[in-house]
Amino acid sequence: MAGEIEEFYDEGCVVYEALWGEHMHSGYFEAGKPGDFRVAQVRMIEEVLSWAGVPNDEQSRPRDILDVGCGFGGTSRYLFKKYSANVKGIALSDYEIARAKAIARAEGVSDKVTFQVANALNQPFEDGQFDLVWCMECAVHIEDKLKLMQEMARVTKPGGRVVLVSWCHRELKPGETSLKKHEQALLDKICAAYFFPPWCATSEYETLARNAGLQEVKVEDWTRHMLPFWGMLTGQLFTLGGAFKLVTSGWAHMRTSLSLAYHFFYMDKGFKNGTFKYAVVMGKKEL
Are 117 and 89 in contact by the 8 Å Cβ rule? The answer is no
H/E element, 5: helix 2-20
For residue 132, the cross-strand partners are 65, 161
What pLDDT does 7 receive?
Answer: 55
The per-residue pLDDT for range 150-190, each reduced to its tens digit, is 999 999 999 999 999 999 999 999 999 999 999 999 999 99
Total domains in the fold of the chain: 1
Distance CA 77, CA 169 (A): 30
What pLDDT does 165 receive?
Answer: 98
Phi then psi dihedrals of residue 53, to 5 deg: 70, 30
Reported as a pLDDT band with limits 50, 70 and 90, residue 16 is: confident
What pLDDT does 192 receive?
Answer: 86
Are 269 and 186 in contact by the 8 Å Cβ rule? The answer is yes
Beta pairing, strands 156-169 & 276-285: antiparallel
The per-residue pLDDT for range 107-148, each reduced to its tens digit, is 999 999 999 999 999 999 999 999 999 999 999 999 999 999
Collect all residues with Cβ–Cβ distance below 8 Å to 131 and sequence separation of at least 6: 62, 63, 64, 65, 85, 156, 157, 160, 161
Reported as a pLDDT band with limits 50, 70 and 90, residue 250 is: very low
Distance CA 205, CA 130 (A): 21
Which range among 18-22, 134-138, 258-262 shows the weakest confidence by mean pLDDT? 258-262
Q: Highest-confidence range of 26-40, 47-61, 238-252, by mean pLDDT? A: 47-61
Reported as a pLDDT band with limits 50, 70 and 90, residue 41 is: very high
- E strands, the chain, in order: 64-68, 86-91, 113-117, 130-136, 156-169, 214-221, 276-285
Q: Does residue 62 have a pLDDT over 50?
A: yes
Are 281 and 222 in contact by the 8 Å Cβ rule? The answer is no
Name the percent of the chain lying above pLDDT 70: 85
Q: In CATH, what number is assigned to the domain containing residue 233?
A: 3.40.50.150
| Domain that includes residue 12, residue range | 2-285
The dihedral formed by the CA atoms of 207, 212, 215 and 218, expressed in degrees to the nearest 10: -40
Distance CA 266, CA 63 (A): 40
- Rounded to whole angstroms, the maximal C-alpha distance in the chain is 56
Strand order in the sheet with 113-117: 113-117, 86-91, 64-68, 130-136, 156-169, 276-285, 214-221
The per-residue pLDDT for range 65-101, each reduced to its tens digit, is 999 999 999 999 999 999 999 999 999 989 899 999 9
What pLDDT does 249 receive?
Answer: 47
- Please write down the HEC assignment for all residues of 33-71: ECCCHHHHHHHHHHHHHHHCCCCCCCCCCCCEEEEECCC
